[in-house]
Amino acid sequence: MRRILFAVAAAGAISALGACTASGPEEVRTPGLADRGLTMTTVKPTRQDLTNKVSLTGKVQLSPTFGLVAPIDGEIRYLDVKASTSTPTKPTKVANIWAGGKATPIEVPAGAVFSGRLVDDRSKVTAGMPVVSAKQAGYGVVADIEGAQAYQISDQLESVQAQIKNGPGPFPCTVLGTLAALPAGTIPEPVTPTPNPSAAPVPQPRVTGQQQQPSEPTGMRLVCVPPAEVKAINGAAATVEVITARAANALVLPVEAVAGSQGKGKVDVVKADQTRETREVTLGLSDGKVIEIKSGLTGDETVAVPGPNLPAAKNNGGEPMPGFSK
């Protein structure tokens, strides 16, 4: 019995000794060096022509509403606009923006009619603010814009192409007005002069035609007009492709290798000794697969994939929010 107990105790001691020997002291790692045995994916920057495209879903619509913006900062003063009895063949002046004693006009383009004031008369406005709504006389293509797409296409539109599903296209589509969402338009009643009791009654002109209707609010969308020869059917589904910018022979990386957006980002450069250096870069165009590196790299570097995580930020509850990488 004693022999059995001694054998069990000896086996336990040997087992404990083996466990201590296996664990050993903790390995000291060099900062920035990848873990031993880790397979690291890397990529080198390349050069290619790049086009920034945004695809929108829309439909053909009769008499679509679009907005006109203030061209400069100043005070808006609306004009009394008479209801149109036919499609205008010339631009219609509807307001002035006054700044520094000078008036800058706002005109509804030919082929469209005034359909509402979007801010109060004599309000202070800023350049780019929607101030007037108008309706196109005829067919247009209306494409809805999601919030995530707004800043991709708000700065400039190099070209716009549309394709009607199972119909004509692709064809160039002329954009009307602004891309911003519009509030409801207002059209004030015409000002009637105060009658003079001593004067003879003046006959009032007879009002003919339909009464002018103010525009309804709209979501964020793009409105464009197809060429006259394109056969349009109200309600037909359409796709609108917007090209916002182009870059020739751009230095690019896969989007997975870059952390950040809105012009600023970071990448992990892998050195010859396998250490990583996080480097700041200036970002440009992206087609969703690759992104332009405008500065920060020469093109000879080896870059780790995926890119680095951005530093964690704290939310209102005090808990850290996870970083992200593109």
Identify the helix (H) or strand (E) that includes residue 111: none
- 147: pLDDT confidence band, cut at 50, 70 and 90? confident
Q: What is the pLDDT of residues 50-86, one digit of tens each?
A: 988 889 999 999 999 999 999 999 999 999 998 888 9
Average pLDDT over residues 250-278: 90
Does the pLDDT value for residue 324 go beyond 60?
Answer: no
C-alpha to C-alpha distances, 260 to 285, 286, 287, 309, nearest whole angstrom: 13, 12, 15, 9
Sheet with strand 112-117: strands edge to edge: 65-69, 130-136, 112-117
pLDDT for position 21? 45
Tokens of residue 237, six digits: 């589904």
Strand pairing class (290-295; 276-286): antiparallel
166 pLDDT exceeds 60?
Answer: yes
Q: How far apart are CA 143 and CA 222, in angstroms?
A: 5
CA distance 287 to 273: 33
Q: Could you give the CA distance from residue 74 to residue 181 in angstroms, rounded to a whole number? A: 21
The whole-number average pLDDT for the span 226-255 is 94
Is it the case that residue 317 has pLDDT exceeding 50?
A: no
Of the given ranges (148-157, 211-220, 314-323), which has the lowest mean pLDDT? 314-323
Q: Return the structure tokens found at 32.
A: 């920035």
Mean pLDDT, the chain, rounded, equals: 82
Q: How far out from the chain centre does Cα 302 lie?
A: 31
- Range of weakest confidence among 21-35, 147-161, 220-234: 21-35
What φ, ψ does residue 247 adopt, rounded to 5°? -140, 125
Of the chain, the percentage scoring pLDDT greater than 90 comes to 59
Q: How open is the CA angle 69-73-74, to the nearest 5 degrees?
A: 105
Q: Which amino acid is at 323?
A: G
For 302, counting Cβ atoms within 10 Å of its Cβ (0-12 exposed, 13-18 middle, 19+ buried), the class is: middle
Rounded to an integer, what distance in angstroms lies between the CA atom of residue 272 and that of residue 199?
98
How far apart, in whole angstroms, are the C-alpha atoms of residue 41 and residue 109? Answer: 55
